[in-house]
Amino acid sequence: MPAVAIPTSLDDLTPAWLTAALQAAGVAERPVVAATIEPLGAESGFLCQTVRVRLTYAPGGRQGPASVVAKLPSADPSVRSVIHSFGFYEREAKFYTAFSETNPLRPPGSYFAAYDETTKDTFVLLEDISDNLLDNGDDLTLPPSLALEFAQRLGAFHAQHWERSPEGLPWLTPFIDQQPDPAGLANRW
C-alpha cells in the first residue's frame, strides 16, 4: 500500500491529497492550493470515472504539472462488480507501476497508481498528455497512414509479450483466460 492513501471518490482529490501525491512522485515542491475537476468523456461507455484536474500552486519552489488526469472506479456498483471480476482496475494500476517507464509506446507518466487487494480500491493519477494528442482528437477521421503506424507500433508491443507471463506478475494473465467461453465474446459484438 502506498504511503499516500488511495482516493475512493472525487471528493478525495483535495489540494492536500494532490500535494502529497505529487510531492511523493517528485514532480512538485510547491503545495497545491486549488484543484478544479473537469469530467473527461461521456459517462456511458467508460469503465471508470476519468477527470482532468487543473492545479494551482502556492508561490515558491518548483511548480508541478498544470493539470493531471485522475481515474477512479465507476460510480455504478454493477459496473464496478463486472470490471473487478475481470481484474481490469487491478491490471491498470499495476501496469502503471510495472511498465509505464519501460514501455516503448510511451503511455502517460504515472504520478500515483495503487490497488488495494483487500478493499479493491484503485486509483491512477496520470500525466495529462492532451496537448500531445492529435489536433482533431477524432479517431474516426484519423489519416490512414497514421492509423497504420499506430496499429504497427501496438502490434510490435504486443508481440514482445505474446504468450509470455512475466515472472513475479501473477496479475498479468491473458484476458481470454478469464472467459469461461472465449467464443462467447463474439456474441457481445
Provide the pLDDT for residue 88.
87
* Backbone φ, ψ for residue 128 (5° rounding): -85, 110
- Residue 34 shares a structural domain with residue 78: yes
Q: What is the CATH number of the domain that holds 57?
A: 3.30.200.20
Task: Give bridge partners of residue 70 from the DSSP assignment.
Answer: 51, 125
- Which of 133, 156, 172 is at the close of a domain? 133
- Residue 151 shares a structural domain with residue 63: no
Rounded CA-CA distance 93/96 in Å is 5
- Which of 133, 159, 176 is at the close of a domain? 133
Domain count, the chain: 2
Residues 96-111 as b/e (b if ≥16 CB within 10 A, e otherwise) read bebbbeeeeeeebbbb
- Residue 5 shares a structural domain with residue 70: yes
Rounded CA-CA distance 121/123 in Å is 7
- Residue 72 shares a structural domain with residue 163: no
More confident residue, 135 or 124: 124
What mean pLDDT is reported for the chain? 82
- Residue 61 shares a structural domain with residue 110: yes
Q: Select the highest-mean-pLDDT range: 13-17, 105-109, 176-180.
A: 13-17
- Residue 54 shares a structural domain with residue 82: yes
Task: Give bridge partners of residue 54 from the DSSP assignment.
Answer: 36, 67
- Residue 40 shares a structural domain with residue 74: yes
- Residue 47 shares a structural domain with residue 127: yes
- Residue 93 shares a structural domain with residue 161: no
Range of the domain at 184: 135-189
pLDDT category at 135 given cuts 50, 70, 90 is: low
What value does the CA radius of gyration of the chain take, rounded to a whole number of Å?
A: 18
CB-neighbour burial class of residue 157 (10 A; exposed 0-12, middle 13-18, buried 19+):
middle
Type of residue found at 112: F
- Residue 179 shares a structural domain with residue 103: no
Q: Give the rounded distance of the alpha carbon of 86 from its chain centre.
A: 16
Residues ≥6 apart with Cβ < 8 Å to 32 = 15, 16, 18, 19, 22, 55, 56, 57, 58, 64
- Residue 128 shares a structural domain with residue 156: no
Provide the pLDDT for residue 96.
87
Cell numbers placing 77: 456498483
- Residue 99 shares a structural domain with residue 31: yes
**What is the number of other CB atoms lying within 10 angstroms of the CB of residue 54?**
14
